[in-house]
Amino acid sequence: MTQVQTNGHLATNGVHDTNGVKPEPSLEERTPEFGFEVVQGFFVQNGPKPKHVEFEETLQKSFGLVDQSPERWTNLKASLKKLQDEAPEGAQYKVLFLGRHGQGWHNFGNAKYGDDWDHKWALLTGDDEITWGPDPPLTPLGIQQAQSIYAAWSREVKQGAPVGAGQMKWLVSPLVRTNQTLEASWGELVEGKPEAWEDLREIYGYHTNDLRYTKTDLQKRFPNVDFSSITEDDELWTPEPRETYEHAGLRGQRAMDRLFSEGGPSETFISVTAHAAFYRSLLKVLNHQEYELETGEMIPVVVKATKLSKSKL
Q: In this predicted model, what pLDDT tens digit does every residue of 205-260 receive, in sequence order? A: 999 999 999 999 999 999 999 999 999 999 999 998 899 999 999 999 999 999 99
pLDDT band for position 279 (50/70/90)? very high
**Domain boundaries, position 224:** 26-107+135-312
Residue 90 included in any domain:
yes
pLDDT band for position 27 (50/70/90)? confident
pLDDT band for position 47 (50/70/90)? confident
pLDDT band for position 17 (50/70/90)? very low
Phi/psi-derived region of residue 258, left when phi > 0, alpha when psi is between -120 and 50, beta in every other case: alpha
| Residue 25 clears pLDDT 70, i.e. is over it | no
Q: 51 to each of 41, 73, 80, 168, 299, how far by Cα in Å?
A: 12, 20, 22, 25, 11
pLDDT, position 22: 52
User: What integer is the mean pLDDT of 96-123?
Assistant: 96
| Residue 10 clears pLDDT 50, i.e. is over it | no
Q: Does the annotation mark 101 as catalytic?
A: yes
pLDDT band for position 310 (50/70/90)? low
| Residue 6 clears pLDDT 90, i.e. is over it | no
For residue 181, report the phi and psi dihedrals to the nearest 5 degrees: -65, -45
Half-sphere exposure (Cβ direction) of 226: Cα atoms closer than 13 Å: 11
- Residues found in the chain: 313
| Residue 13 clears pLDDT 70, i.e. is over it | no
| Residue 34 clears pLDDT 60, i.e. is over it | yes
User: What integer is the mean pLDDT of 30-57?
Assistant: 92
pLDDT, position 48: 83
pLDDT, position 49: 80
pLDDT band for position 187 (50/70/90)? very high
Q: Does the annotation mark 247 as catalytic?
A: no
How many separate domains does the chain show?
1
Residue 36 included in any domain:
yes
User: What integer is the mean pLDDT of 85-102?
Assistant: 97
Whole-number Å distance between alpha carbons of 264 and 33: 13
- Report the chain's terminal Cα–Cα distance, integer Å: 49
Burial 85-112 (b: 16+ CB within 10 A, else e): eeeeeebbbbbbbbbbbbbbbbbbbbee
- Nearest CA-CA partner of 170 in 261, 81, 274, 262: 274
Half-sphere exposure (Cβ direction) of 225: Cα atoms closer than 13 Å: 30
From the list 202, 243, 267, 297, the catalytic residue is: 202
Q: What is the mean pLDDT of the chain?
A: 91
Residue 233 included in any domain:
yes
pLDDT, position 21: 53
Residue 112 included in any domain:
no
User: What integer is the mean pLDDT of 157-164?
Assistant: 95
- Are residues 190 and 208 in contact, defined by beta-carbon separation less than 8 angstroms? no
Among 3-17, 72-86, 229-243, the least confident range: 3-17
Residue 124 included in any domain:
no
| Residue 168 clears pLDDT 80, i.e. is over it | yes
pLDDT band for position 92 (50/70/90)? very high
Here the CATH number for the domain that contains residue 290 is 3.40.50.1240
Convert the chain into a string of H (helix), E (strand) and C (coil): CCCCEECCEECCCCCCCCCCCCCCHHHHHCCCCEEEEECCCCEHHHCCCCCCCCHHHHHHCHHHECCCCCCHHHHHHHHHHHHHHCCCCCEEEEEEEEEECCCEHHHHHHHHHHHHCCCCHHHCCECCCCECCCCCCECHHHHHHHHHHHHHHHHHHCCCCCCCCCCEEEEECCCHHHHHHHHHHHHHHCCCCCEECHHHCCCCCCCHHHCCCCHHHHHHHCCCCECCCCCCCCCCCCCCCCCCHHHHHHHHHHHHHHHHCCCCCCCCEEEEEECHHHHHHHHHHCCCCCCCCCCCCEEEEEEEEEECCHHHC
pLDDT band for position 15 (50/70/90)? very low
Strand-pair partners of 171: 195, 272
pLDDT, position 169: 98
Strand 34-38, strand 5-6: pairing: unpaired
- Nearest CA-CA partner of 236 in 262, 201, 261: 201
Residue 270 included in any domain:
yes
Residue 14 included in any domain:
no
pLDDT, position 51: 84
Residue 166 included in any domain:
yes
pLDDT, position 308: 94
